[in-house]
Amino acid sequence: MFYGEYEHSIDKKGRVIIPSKFRDFFREYHIEKLYVTRGLDKCLFVFTENEWRSLESKYRAMAFTRSDARKFNRLLFSGAVQIECDKQGRILLPKFLKDFADIKREIVIVGVSNRFEIWSKESWNEYYTQSKGSFEEIAENITSQEE
């Protein structure tokens, strides 16, 4: 679905050009609506409508009596907006989401299989630099948990 790393800039109206490979996927699968919300690690998560509905169903089933479930749902869903690409393949990011992710002008769009993420270029570079050295260790830890 969504793979790769793409650098872009936000225009003066707050629009982001979606990578052409992603737009090709949208056309092929007749995807019109996307959902953008606060992500983890100071980025924005972007989901197709089908992925969003699946995620929504999963988190809606969480016990609302649990404090952490309430907090997570509030932050995730209160920050969600439905968007569509314009004819030039751009999406408009609301100011409150750009502020959350500290996005000013330069961004990196990162494909993460069933979603893509939008990062400020500075935040992505910092995250990547801090994380890349532990890639093998992380892989070992998560694969050993699956066995």
What CATH number is associated with residue 94?
3.40.1550.20
Count the neighbouring beta carbons within 10 Å of the beta carbon of residue 119: 25
Asked if the model's pLDDT at residue 147 lies above 70, the reply is no
Let me know the angle formed at the C-alpha of 82 by 50 and 124, rounded to the nearest 5 degrees.
90
Residue 18 inside a domain? The answer is yes
Q: Which domain holds residue 13?
A: 2-121
Residue 47 inside a domain? The answer is yes
pTM here is 0.91
Residue 129 inside a domain? The answer is no
Residue 145 inside a domain? The answer is no
Give the count of alpha carbons within 13 A of 119, CB side only: 21
Question: pLDDT tens-digit profile of 111-133?
Answer: 999 999 999 999 999 999 998 88
Count the neighbouring beta carbons within 10 Å of the beta carbon of residue 29: 10
Question: pLDDT tens-digit profile of 49-78?
Answer: 999 999 999 998 988 889 999 999 999 999
Residue 15 inside a domain? The answer is yes
Residue 70 inside a domain? The answer is yes
Task: Sort 42 into a burial class: Cβ within 10 Å, 0-12 / 13-18 / 19+.
Answer: middle
Residue 23 inside a domain? The answer is yes
If one counts the domains in the chain, the total is: 1
Residue 110 inside a domain? The answer is yes
Q: For the chain, give percent helix, strand, coil, nearest 5.
A: 45, 30, 30
Asked if the model's pLDDT at residue 136 lies above 90, the reply is no
